[in-house]
Structure 1
Amino acid sequence: MGKPLNVGIIGCGKIVAQYLASFRRLEQVRLVAVADLDTARAQEVADSYEGVRAVSVDELIAADDIDLVLNLTIPAAHADVALKAIAAGKSVYGEKPLAATTEEAREVITAAREAGVVVGCAPDTVLGTGIQTARKAIDDGLIGSPIAATATMVTPGHERWHPNPDFYYQPGGGPLLDMGPYYVSALVTLLGPVVSVIGAASHTRTERTIGSGERAGQVVPVNIDTHVTGVLVHASGALSTLVMSFDAVQSKSPNIEIHGEKGSLSVPDPNHFDGDVQIFRLGGESWETLPVSAGYIDSGRGYGIADIAATPAGAEPRAGGALAFHVLEVMESVLASAHTGAPMRIASTAERPSAVELAELAALPQEINS
């Protein structure tokens, strides 16, 4: 804390552009190196960002001038890359999910604790003004005690736009593990940790056809469930209903709704950092849009890393490993319940991350979480 984090990126695929855009305006983060199995792709990123060098994965992990490794590899590689970085004494921040399984994720958390380094994980969208304004409305009692929530994400499939969608349809992928982290992280941020779940799941097709890019027309196999539903029981007693689908076409429902004794909230897409929060009050006649009142203004992917840079030593980051592990266990348990038909208890827990006051992160002093 008190100085920029020197960051190295492993994995220079499609998502890296969004992180680069944030890093260019965050004083708390300094990008120094990038690596990818495709060396040309890493070099292209390095050439686009002044002062950044392209190196091999092993060189990046061993580099003395890197404090934190940003892991943007595919989900199946998340744990392996994280463990290697931790073994080299580096903190890690990964794209979601934390690992392909809770067993692998537990290894990451344990190794980081023993090494005295920090684990962070996407999504950091929960730090933006959308989810945080909704969080403040709940904390301020605008809807009374929360009773229930719904979280809905439906799309006909990422193969329609993604040029290499294979991993979405293999173990570690699927609508819940791919998009669920945004929704479950938001639900835990809004309503607190989950103590039990029950799930059901299905899939409609055994293969998908790529719709864009050089591989357009190629067929990829489907080896996971592509429509998942679940009910999450929060420690507070609130019940959340989750629908995640790569099979359905579109939904008119808000991405997330929170229902309380005194009103209901319409919460914006948790895959975005902003958006309108609306409230329908008990006895009211229409939805009202709440003013933006909390969260990092104009934030984007990578703000979770800047938040880590500003977190006091020894404190758990808001987009930290404990939350990511809990979210992963919740999702894995929904899938396990779907296959067994039995409710599942959640062994882990995570403290509801501290609220984010309305602020522009790049302009703040370093001790923002103290």
Structure 2
Amino acid sequence: MGNPLENTKQLNVGIIGCGAIIAQYLSNFRRLDSVNLVAVADLDPARAQAVADSYEGVRAMQVEELLAADDVDLVLNLTIPAAHADVALKAIANGKSVYGEKPLAATSEEARQVLDAARAAGVVVGCAPDTVLGTGIQTARKAIDDGLIGTPISATATMATPGHERWHPNPDFYYQPGGGPLLDMGPYYVSALVTLLGPVVSVVGAASHTRNERTIGSGPREGQKVPVDIDSHVTGVLVHASGALSTLFMSFDAVKTKSPNLEIHGEKGSLVVPDPNHFDGEVQLFALGAEDWETLPVSAGYVDSGRGFGIADLAATPAGQEPRAGGGLAFHALEVMESVLESAKSGHSVSIKSTAQRPPAVPLTELATKVSA
């Protein structure tokens, strides 16, 4: 098993936004030779200081100080979706590359500004989800590329939860523009579908809004009400350039589903694909003429990966090439999701203006790791 990242240069990273998701990034940064965390910042200085105290060699800074810091090569943007574009544009203006949490921006218009600014400045834009680089999605992709299901015909993507307010102590942004089940969870599913089946050319959508407020279920704000300003249940059909059709079911209203998170159907077989919000998991194949499902061996992807591995992959991407978890894919996914919501309002099919190449496949790779901090 080769390691294409062995000779990757080290990338100095500064993080803006020290909320709940940062813990996963910190855990993985400790394992990645190519990622050197040097600074953190947050609107709440105490949160930034707590992170700096827990990670050797990291200093807490004000946001503007981090954006201007000479030793920061890339800004990891972990702010809320409404702030993604503003922080990214400021980082780019300071000559820094950017890797953001999903979505790339609250709107595709803002996301286009980010990509245009980065192109003009000669810096790189990456964006979560990097779950598509793990062994789950990549093993499924290899099965498709190897012809195990023949020509892909269709896919289903299913995500059902009664709402993040049940566990998240500050869920407000999930129910504001830029949030909702599609823009929050859809990036995992749409990015996986494009990785597996290629870009989307048109969509049809429908959506509903069942409650005007939600009740926070945990933390210091337990019992407080949160207004709902978005559609909380969204369905859509994506028409891929290949001719394959994908059906989306994204809900903050439904309680549970027994359906697989992702299924891919072809003329010679069907695949059950692991949850695209995870990096690994079993891929199952039911081949035409078979009597039962077969679990495929892990055959591609970054082994034992997690959030932040997309930054290591970005660091290894040759100059001038798009990272696998790059801004182009993130922009395409965002436009697809926005267009599903637009179609839901208009009742008409919406054509997708952007496109994105399927990112290069990830060979089965054990990343070099480190023990530090």
Instruction: Give the TM-score taking structure 1 as reference length.
Output: 0.98
Corresponding position: 1:33 with 2:24: no
What is the identity, as a one-letter code, of the residue corresponding to 1:269? Answer: D
Once the two structures are TM-superposed, the CA of residue 254 in structure 1 deviates from its matched residue by 0.4
Query: Partner letter of residue 159 of structure 2?
Result: M
Deviation at 1:363, TM superposition (A): 5.9
Q: CA RMSD in A?
A: 0.9
Task: Please state whether the residue corresponding to 1:250 is helix, strand or coil.
Answer: coil
Q: d(CA) in 2 for partners of 1:21 and 1:296?
A: 16
Alignment of 1:100-139 (within 5 A): 100-139=106-145
Measured after TM superposition, the shift of residue 361 of structure 1 is 2.1
**Which residue is equivalent to 1:20?**
26
Shift of 1:67: 0.3
> Letter of the aligned partner of 1:175 in structure 2?
P
* Matched residue, 1:195: 201
1:272-311 to 2 correspondences below 5 Å: 272-311=278-317
Whether the 8 Å CA contact 2:199–2:357 is kept in 1: the answer is yes
Note the residue ranges of structure 2 that are not aligned, 5 or more in a row. Answer: 1-6
The equivalences for 1:99-178 within 5 A come to: 99-178=105-184
Give the aligned residue type for 2:129: P
Q: Which residue of 1 aligns with 2:270?
A: 264
Deviation of residue 142 (structure 1)? 0.2
Map of 1:68 onto structure 2 = 74
Separation in 2, partners of 1:71, 1:83: 11
| 1:311-350 to 2 correspondences below 5 Å | 311-350=317-356
**Aligned partners of 1:261, 1:15: CA distance in 2, in Å?**
40
Within 2, Cα distance between the matches of 1:356 and 1:363?
18
Q: Which amino acid aligns with 2:348?
A: A
| Superposition deviation, residue 228 in structure 1 | 0.1
Deviations 1:185-230 (CA, angstroms, capped at 9, x unpaired):
0000000000000000001100000000000000010010000000
The CA distance in 1 between the partners of 2:216 and 2:88, in whole Å, is 30
Match of 2:186 among 174, 180, 185: 180
Q: Distance in 2 between matches of 1:355 and 1:167?
A: 34
CA contact (8 A) 2:97 2:124 kept: yes
Name the SS of the counterpart of 2:368 in structure 1: helix
CA distance in 2, matches of 1:361, 1:187: 25
Unaligned 5+ runs, structure 1? 365-370
Query: Displacement, 1:252?
Result: 0.4
- Tell me by how many angstroms 1:362 deviates: 2.1
CA distance in 2, matches of 1:166, 1:2: 39
Name the SS for the 1:31 alignment partner.
Answer: strand
- 1:68-124 deviations in whole A, cap 9, x for unaligned? 000000000000000000000000000000000000000000000000000000000
Matches of 1:356 and 1:21 in 2, distance apart? 22
Residue 12 of structure 2, aligned match among 6, 12, 16: 6
The TM-score normalised by the length of structure 2 is: 0.97
Task: Give 2:219's aligned residue.
Answer: 213
CA–CA distance in 1 between the matches of 2:149 and 2:256?
28
Q: CA–CA distance in 1 between the matches of 2:263 and 2:318?
A: 33
Contact conserved, 2:31 with 2:369, CA < 8 A, in 1? no
2 CA distance for matches of 1:178 and 1:61? 26
Which residue of structure 2 aligns with residue 367 of structure 1?
none
Q: What secondary structure sits across from 2:303 in the alignment?
A: coil
Aligned residue number for residue 53 of structure 1: 59
The residue number in structure 2 matching 1:244 is: 250
Matched position secondary structure for 1:361: coil
Query: Which deviations, in whole Å up to 9, do the C-alpha atoms of 1:294-330 show, x marking residues without a partner?
Result: 0000000000000011000010000000000000000
**How many pairs are equivalent?**
364
Q: In structure 1, how many angstroms separate the alpha carbons of the residues matched to 2:51 and 2:8?
A: 28
Separation of aligned partners in 2, 1:106 and 1:24: 33
